[in-house]
Every structure is written in C-alpha cells, then in structure tokens.
Amino acid sequence: MRPPNMTALALTAGGSRGAYQAGVLQRIGEIPSLAEGPAPFDIITGASAGAINGAALAGYSARLQYGTARLAGLWAGLTADRVYRTGLSAMARNALRFAGDAALGRLLGGGRVQALLDAAPLRELLARELPLAGIGQAVAQRRLYALAVTATGYHSGKSYTFIQGRPGHPL
C-alpha cells in the first residue's frame, strides 16, 4: 500500500552545511503561518550533520519555532572543544593508537581506533541537546511519519540508515 502524499525534508552531510541548514530551518520556523504550530514535514531524512539537524527537528516537531531556534543556537555556540577533545594528551593518545593500528594492525587485530579525534564531547553534547524522546512522541501523535538518519562506518565505509517511524512504513 502506498502512503498518502507527504512533505519530506532531506538534510545532507557536511559539517558547515549543518550550520547553514540550521539557519534556514530557523527562518522557516519564523514564518508566521508556521511559527506556532508543529513542523510541516511528514518525513525527515539526514546524513551526518544533517542527521543531527533532522533528529533535532523531529524531536522538537511539536513546536517548530522553538525547536528551530534551539537548533540554530546549538550551531551558533559550537566550538571545537565541544566536538572533540582538543588537549595535547588526548590528541597524542589517539595519534599513537592510529600509528599502532597502521604499523601493527595485522598483528594486533587492527581496528582499535574509532575515529581520528576523540569525539566524546560531541556525544555528550548531543545527549544533552537532542530531544530524542520527542521523536517517538511525534510518531505516536502522528505529527511525524518517519525519521531516517544515515551514518557511515569508520572502518567499513558502509552506510547504515536507521529509521524510526510509524508501523508499516515502506522500509
């Protein structure tokens, strides 16, 4: 069965694009006919930085203007130390692990390095700022048909798409 006509939003990857997207979404949230209502998107998809924006938009979908302002504020206050550990010891530790993987990966099994930089601060920031419980509420209250986020595995290079949506969605 084919779903009814829906409005979808696709948010692409790219670090700085995430900030641009947040700015555009904030302006959409300020449109008088939309500002006080829910987000007008039935389906939201995103990859990388777009996935962060998509998850925030879906989580805040009950209050478009509030949610888009929060998202724009998140990006406006973003600094390197809120994304990855910038201290010399953290960077040196990861560089040594990376060198060890490159030099001794076959002997040690490789794959110990999860990223070039320690992104623990980003995980903490997203855990604090993304209203993930709001996604399930939006689906349950039928404000959102589905959210799909795509991520790429660091070691495999494969893309993985995670979907949260109404029962019976096509994927």
Q: pLDDT tens digit string along 93-150? A: 777 777 777 776 666 666 666 666 778 899 999 999 999 999 999 999 999 999 999 9
Question: Is residue 7's pLDDT more than 70?
Answer: yes
Cβ atoms of 160 and 154 within 8 Å: the answer is no
Euclidean distance between CA atoms 101 and 109, whole angstroms: 8
pLDDT, residue 109, reads 61
Question: Is pLDDT larger for residue 123 or for residue 86?
Answer: 123
Radius of gyration of the chain (CA): 19
Q: What is the pTM of this model?
A: 0.83
Strand 146-152 relative to strand 8-11, pairing: unpaired
Residue 165 CA from chain centroid, whole number: 16
Strand 43-47 relative to strand 146-152, pairing: parallel
pLDDT, residue 42, reads 95
